[in-house]
Amino acid sequence: MLAAGVLLIFLSVLTVHGTDTVLDVDYYIEYDYDYTTEAPLDIEYDNWLIDLLEESSACDPYPCLNGGSCQSKSATEFTCSCPEPYRGTRCEQVRNICKDVKCGFGDCIINLNKQPFYECKCKPPYQGSDCRTLPASPCEPNPCKNGGTCIKTKRRFRCACPDGYSGKFCGTDPNDCYEGNGESYRGAVSMTEDGQECLDWKSNFILLNGQNPFTAYSNFSGLDSNTQNHCRNPDGDDKPWCFIKKRGKLDWNFCKVKECSKAPAAPPQPVVPVVPVAPNPPQFSECGKPQPTRIVRIFGGKKSFPGAHPWQVSVQTRTKGSSTTFFHMCGGILLKSCWVLTAAHCINPNEELQVVLGGVNIDKHEEIDQTIPVIETIVHENYKEKTEALYNDIALLKLQVTDSPYCAKETRFVRAACLLSQPFPPGKECVVSGWGKTENRTYSSHLLNTRVLLISQERCSIPQIYGNVLDNSMLCAGILQGGVDSCEGDSGGPLVCEEDGTYYVTGVVSWGIGCGLRNKPGVYANVHTFLNWIESKIN
């Protein structure tokens, strides 16, 4: 599983200062070429989430968000009058503010605190409210910061930075660096390692193709109105990073910001008695904690980064006794170091199995992969495969010990999911992940994920959906309008729900009718029903 790509950069001069290698680049900023911003996407919003929850408590408790005004139509119906720029049944959405905005040679930046709720951020040397005005000279006014000198040539200019300063516009001072993994970094670097300019964190392009970073990383103090396009590390990655626009799509990359010098060695200290240190907690002593991940754009779903779903397993198979290559067959969920939960219909007694954990690309080997043989399969005693449905579709895989007493080893990318003690209520938003069938191909080589809603057994059993074929070994989750679902390649994979930052296995992908069809949500093995069975086997 290959997690990283190769990025091409063009650098004009390489110099070395002392023991630190520094890239000093003559950045020429070309202008007078047609690289205007594309017309923003025309997004049609819908209210499937609100419709499915069937809010029926009128204005108590207060249902309207973002300052909306609630008017009660009856004891069970209400209407929210939304202030600009919000819309939706509960004022939960922001309209596409930049839809009809033309920012010319610039980017449309969202500002929800001030009308008209956007501004055009111009690329130097362009000016004006629509970023289409060229000054008499690109160096007037001087776009270079910190005393940099603007040097004009034909249809382009560059900034000659004073000693120690760097960046396209000399915005990076000599002391700009990050400590540790850079979560505390508040510097001004706004360029990636391959020389691309970062997008403003408030860029409409990020909102249209991902999520609002200020919402997704609301607990991170380093994003505010003054952050602009400066590099940050809001999700605990290895170093500061930023979003970029690459070939018309939203992407990201680590930033060209240096790590602060290590502190000088401390003077020798007098010898003191050794105090025993408490041992580290055993592996897998905590469950349900994923690695925080950045936002990016299964069926109707999004690509996953390593560590986002650390309990995700690729269950792979080949004919018993053969030497052929294993291939991905189903998903699975890591419950303990030596136990994986999957679907019963994934088990074939004539095949041998192995599991791969950690990585996200099943077509490539990744350094973070762990590949472990399966030494025992346990299919539920009451598993039944009928024409209309799969009943008690659950199984356990026992893994081979690799480093006694462990089978899988806990890392940032391999962790166990939790088993839930109480079922979550209908309407709960949960996450399904896998390498399953997508709109365009038989399976995805890259791990995908999407959000779905738990649907009550009563509603899922109406004639228009699945009728009377469901029993308590199953649960439904999805979006009744269609378009988002798990598909057959995801069989055995996880449906997890989060509470207080911990993720609990709620379902195992089992069956459904079609993929992403209206009124045909995915059907999952109901893990809560099988708690006693699971615990009796793995304990």
- Which contacts of 368-371 are long-range, i.e. CB under 8 A and separated by 24 or more positions? 368/1, 368/3, 368/306, 368/411, 368/413, 368/414, 369/1, 370/402, 370/408, 370/409, 370/411, 370/414
Q: What is the DSSP letter of 305?
A: -
Sequential DSSP letters for 168-237: TTS-B-TT-EE-TTSTT------BBTTSPBPPPTTBHHHHHHS--HHHHTTT-TT-STT-TT--B-TT--
| 433: nearest Cα among 526, 537, 298, 255 | 298
Phi-psi region of 337 (alpha: psi -120 to 50; beta: other; left: phi over 0): alpha
On whether the CB atoms of residues 448 and 438 are closer than 8 A, the answer is yes
Distance CA 112, CA 129 (A): 18
Q: Is 491 a catalytic residue?
A: yes
CA distances from 62 to 48, 86, 90, 236, 527 (A): 20, 17, 10, 35, 34
Read off φ and ψ for residue 505, nearest 5 degrees: -70, 120
Q: Is 237 a catalytic residue?
A: no
| 488: nearest Cα among 446, 454, 516 | 516
Q: What is the DSSP letter of 461?
A: T
Amino acid letter, 509: V
Q: Is 393 a catalytic residue?
A: yes
Catalytic site residue from 203, 444, 491, 510: 491
3-state DSSP call for residue 10?
Answer: coil
Catalytic site residue from 345, 444, 446, 473: 345
Q: Kindly give, in sequence order, each residue whose CB lies less than 8 Å from that of residue 197, ignoring residues fewer than 6 positions away.
A: 168, 190, 191, 229, 244
Helix H segments across 42-177? 48-53
Q: What is the DSSP letter of 438?
A: -
Catalytic site residue from 107, 369, 393, 485: 393
Q: Give me the active site residues, please.
A: 345, 393, 491
